[in-house]
Amino acid sequence: MTPAEEFREIGGRFGEVVDAVRSDQWDDPTPVDGWRTRDVVGHLIEWFPAMVHDLEVRLPPGPAAQSDPAAAWRAFAAGVISLLEDPAAAALVPTNPNFGGVPLDRAIARFFTPDVFHHTWDLATAAGQLPALDPERCESMLASMEPIDQLLRDSGQYGPRVEVPADADAETRLVAFLGRDPFWSPPRT
């Protein structure tokens, strides 16, 4: 899959979850301590500019995630797809050392799209939806992250790994690796 095709698929699935969040759920808690559902969308939209800060790349502006998360995601995702479909994106190389000097389209595929993938679980779970993450992608992500476990923990972006049964499915094991309680559910009101 090209980076554009991959983002279209994963960002599209995230968009389906976003569109299914009821208007009265946007301030509900999530499995990420201290985050509300709208914060999941906001996080993805707000950290993307750090990836492109030194490039002549600007996505078309959309609504703020805090005021209209669904419309904000749709506008943002369309901008990312447009960027990834532009052949010039492969020639752009962010200077941020965290992205390893790889072309922008591959940096998005390596760092941003996986973040969208696993935050799909956070948002779906918070909104009482079935996350239904692709098990093969969960296995693949887990296999690539486990060898750098300590590096990821030291980054401060992941909580402590949650223990789950050895025979747990791939989604459960990935979510637990990321520091989420795979058995978390929204508080009942």
In tens, the pLDDT along 64-74 reads: 999 999 999 99
What was the pLDDT predicted at 118? 94
The larger pLDDT score, comparing residue 53 to residue 181, is at: 181
Please choose, from the candidates 164, 160, 163, the residue with its C-alpha nearest in 3D space to the C-alpha of residue 179: 160
- Sort 144 into a burial class: Cβ within 10 Å, 0-12 / 13-18 / 19+: exposed
Confirm if 152 and 145 have CB atoms less than 8 A apart: yes
Does pLDDT of 24 surpass 70?
Answer: yes
How many CA atoms lie less than 13 Å away from 56 in the CB half-sphere? 2
The larger pLDDT score, comparing residue 41 to residue 187, is at: 41
pLDDT band at 153 (very low <50, low <70, confident <90, very high): confident
What was the pLDDT predicted at 52? 83
- Report residue 168 as tokens: 């747990």
What was the pLDDT predicted at 88? 84
What was the pLDDT predicted at 90? 79
pLDDT band at 77 (very low <50, low <70, confident <90, very high): very high
Q: What share of the chain is helix, strand, coil (3-state, %, to 5)?
A: 60, 0, 40
What was the pLDDT predicted at 189? 62
Calculated CA dihedral for residues 19, 20, 24, 27, nearest 10 degrees: -70
CA angle 163/43/113 to nearest 5° reads 75
Q: Identify the weakest region by mean pLDDT among 40-49, 151-160, 170-179.
A: 151-160
- Report residue 80 as tokens: 């990312």
**Phi-psi label, residue 126: left if phi above 0, alpha if psi -120 to 50, beta otherwise:** alpha
How many CA atoms lie less than 13 Å away from 144 in the CB half-sphere? 8
